Amino acid sequence: MRVATLLFMTLLFISCGYKPTSIYTKEILGDKIYAEVEISLEDPENSVLIKDALNEAIVSQFRSSIVSKSEADSKFYINLNSVSFVPIQYDKNGYVIAYKTHVGIKTHYIDKDNKAYDIYTKGNYDFPIESSSIISDTKRFEAIKFASQKALDAVRSQISIRSIK
């Protein structure tokens, strides 16, 4: 019975033409991508975190390699628009015990056909802290990194949707 179910599911996926989003994005972006993150003078550490998250996303989600600008099929230019922390949970004494991080980014990219697009996305991440304490730099950086990755996931989704059209 298990073999029959597995065979049926395999045939279902093959027959319906399922493709992962990385296939669609690769059709638009190509195999080689150049990535540049504009460093914010007000918050340079966050810009570095965005750059790291972008590099990870390009390698893992887009299944492409990072190259120099002259060798690239596509180019990404990312600006960190906003970072905010909002309290979302309080303990019985009124101290904040959980925050939500919001990150807004603007992505300007040029695909392998030299068409330029702008995408504005937001990502968020929830995280707890100890009661009556402040957000440590480690927690802050971690939250910004994860929220940035979610915003970049939204960029990938919009690019793959554009390729389907």
In a domain, 7, yes or no: no
Domain count, the chain: 1
> In this predicted structure, what is the pLDDT of residue 132?
63
Identify residue 15 by its one-letter amino acid code: S
| pLDDT of 43 above 90 | no
| pLDDT of 131 above 70 | no
When the pLDDT of each residue in the chain is averaged and rounded to a whole number, the result is 83
pLDDT in tens, 103-115: 999 999 999 889 9
In a domain, 32, yes or no: yes
In a domain, 70, yes or no: yes
Please state the pTM of the whole predicted model: 0.78
Residue with more model confidence, 20 or 126:
126
Residue 159 belongs to what domain range? 22-164
Contact 37, 75 (CB under 8 A): no
Q: What value does the mean pLDDT take over residues 19-47?
A: 77
In a domain, 55, yes or no: yes
- The CATH code of the domain that includes 32 is 3.30.160.150
Alpha carbon distances (Å) from 76 to 119, 147, 155: 11, 18, 11
In a domain, 57, yes or no: yes
Contact 23, 118 (CB under 8 A): no
In a domain, 8, yes or no: no
In a domain, 130, yes or no: yes
Q: Nearest CA to 37 among 21, 18, 56, 52?
A: 52
| pLDDT of 10 above 90 | no
In a domain, 86, yes or no: yes
Measured CA to CA, the distance from residue 161 to residue 155 in angstroms comes to 10
